[in-house]
């Protein structure tokens, strides 16, 4: 396979042909690539972006499955088992959320449970630090509800 042709313009700019949109475009309209002979992606940035959008729209289940597998090491089936074990509610506050956040230890990657967004964000804001959370509880008890 021969390397892709780079077209030098009289003004000094360089162009590459995008086979998807069938246009010659400025070299800056292509992503850099370590795997192609030319050093640039085969398709222009706009074509790549459009392809990604189309792919995500056509394959939402596959994309979601990959997300959980890559990020947390679990399948959607395994995630649904956790939701069932929690009776479909947040593991902390017991509310039925619109969607679950996957709470995991940032050091080990181990999943602790599925939470509503507010509970998951709260743990994050306290830096997953139980001492700080206990101090917050003590503070709230001291001042009570007013």
Tokens of 100: 């679950």
Whole domain around residue 113: which residue ranges?
Answer: 74-143
The residues, any chain, with a CB within 8 Å of residue 31's CB and separated by 6 or more, are 40, 41, 45, 48
The residues, any chain, with a CB within 8 Å of residue 88's CB and separated by 6 or more, are 96
Which of the listed residues 14, 29, 57 is the one where a domain comes to its end? 57
CB 27, CB 14: distance < 8 Å = yes
Q: Which of 13, 11, 5 is nearest to 29 (CA)?
A: 13
The pLDDT, as a whole number, for residue 146 is 60
DSSP 86-116: TTTS-TTT----SS-EEEE-TTT--EEEEE-
Q: Do both 50 and 81 map to the same domain? A: no
103: CATH: 3.40.1800.10
In the DSSP assignment, the letter for residue 38 is T
Q: How many domains does the chain have?
A: 2
Inside any domain, residue 63: no
The pLDDT, as a whole number, for residue 93 is 96
pLDDT means per 10 residues in the chain (146 residues)? 74 91 94 89 95 95 92 93 96 96 90 96 93 94 79
């Amino acid at each position: 396979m021969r390397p892709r042709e780079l077209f030098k313009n009289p003004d000094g700019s360089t162009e590459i042909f995008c086979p998807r949109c069938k246009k010659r475009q400025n070299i800056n309209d292509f992503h850099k690539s370590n795997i192609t002979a030319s050093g640039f992606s085969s398709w222009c940035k706009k074509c790549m972006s459009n392809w990604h959008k189309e792919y995500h729209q056509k394959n939402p289940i596959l994309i979601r499955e990959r997300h959980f597998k890559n990020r947390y090491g679990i399948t959607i089936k395994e995630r649904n088992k956790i939701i069932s074990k929690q009776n479909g509610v947040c593991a902390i506050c017991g509310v039925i959320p619109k969607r679950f956040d996957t709470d995991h230890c940032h050091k080990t990657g181990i999943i602790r449970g599925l939470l509503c967004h507010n509970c998951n964000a709260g743990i994050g804001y306290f830096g997953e630090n139980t001492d700080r959370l206990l101090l917050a509880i003590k503070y709230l008890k001291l001042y009570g509800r007013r």
